[in-house]
Chain A
Amino acid sequence: MTPKLEIVAEPGKTHFTTKRVVDAPRSLVFDTFTKCEHLKQWMGPRNLTMTSCQIDLRVGGKYRFVFRLPDGNSVGFSGEFKEIVRPERIVRTFVFEPIPEAAALETLELVESGETTIITTTTVHQSVENRDGHVNSGMEDGMTQGYARLDDLLAGLLQQR
């Protein structure tokens, strides 16, 4: 059975955490998260191809992953390393490039547990709205507010051009 990806996002908080167990020693898992030759083999859904991977694994170093979509378009993820403790911990900024204003700080932690490794990530966004998505189209908010927030989101999207 495939282990479950647990995601915990408490209401009103700006962060969320994920937890996943994999059946491999920690040092190997650390490598698969930090070396392009490995990341290209597994990161992203199968119908996205990682066409470019750059990792400068040192504090202040940058990384960028680009995926090609089936329609030929590309989408990038990038950021900067803030802390590296091999083989247990990485702190890095994270930007989903189409929505650059929603940058987040991501902590990856690897804990060895017998033959397995527990992978936890903590992603801190700048606001609860960023964490939950920019446009709150819930009925109680009404469409007007939804559109107002949507403008902000789109302004951010356009800045990237």
Chain B
Amino acid sequence: MTPTAAELDLTAIFGALADPTRRSILARLSKGDASVLELADPFDMSQPAVSKHLKVLEQAGLIVRGRDAQRRPCRLDPRRLKQASDWLGTYRQFWEASYERLDDYLQQLQTKERKRDTKTRNRRRTR
């Protein structure tokens, strides 16, 4: 089944926040913009490794990259992080999707139960 846009959205944010390095990068960026080089330094990481994390953060919409081709400074986008920490929005996405699955699952369970009941009754009858 293809995930809905809301599911993708939620997953991107969860995925971005789940990694401790990316959380540290966000913490660093909350103090001000920084280039890849400036970010790589305190984390003792190679530039490509940091760039990979930045790409995830950018795709989740948590940071924006500057246009300056040389430096491409990273800036935190607090709107998106608000969305990530917005319990109501997150709950809605999470639970709407969950309850839809629960509907199907309860149906399955009850169908199974009914079949079992019918079988038991039939067995009794033939006895």
Return chain B residues, CB-CB under 8 Å to A125: 87
Count of A interface residues, CB-CB < 8 Å: 57
Main secondary structure of the interface of B (DSSP, over half): helix
B1-40 to A contact mask, C-beta < 8 Å, 1/0: 1011011101100110111100110110011000000000
Return chain A residues, CB-CB under 8 Å to B30: 147, 150-151, 154
Count of B interface residues, CB-CB < 8 Å: 53
Given known pairs A133-B86, A157-B23, the reply for A42 and B98 (CB within 8 Å) is yes
Is there an interface contact between A102 and B106, defined as CB atoms closer than 8 Å? Answer: no
Contact stretch, chosen from A53-61, A83-91, A135-143 = A135-143
User: Is B82's CB within 8 Å of the partner chain A?
Assistant: yes
Chain A nearest CB: distance from B1 CB in Å?
A: 5
Chain B nearest CB: distance from A70 CB in Å?
A: 6
Return chain B residues, CB-CB under 8 Å to A118: none
User: Is B101's CB within 8 Å of the partner chain A?
Assistant: yes
Residue of B nearest to A161 (CB): B20
B73-107 to A contact mask, C-beta < 8 Å, 1/0: 00010110111111111111111111111111111
Is there an interface contact between A70 and B26, defined as CB atoms closer than 8 Å? Answer: no
| CB pairs A–B below 8 angstroms (10 shown) | A24-B106, A28-B106, A38-B109, A42-B98, A45-B7, A102-B87, A133-B89, A134-B82, A134-B85, A161-B23
Give A residues with C-beta under 8 Å from B.
2-3, 5, 7, 9, 16, 18, 20, 22-24, 28-29, 32, 38, 41-48, 67, 69-71, 73-75, 96, 98-99, 102, 104, 123, 125, 130-137, 143, 146-147, 150-151, 153-155, 157-158, 160-161
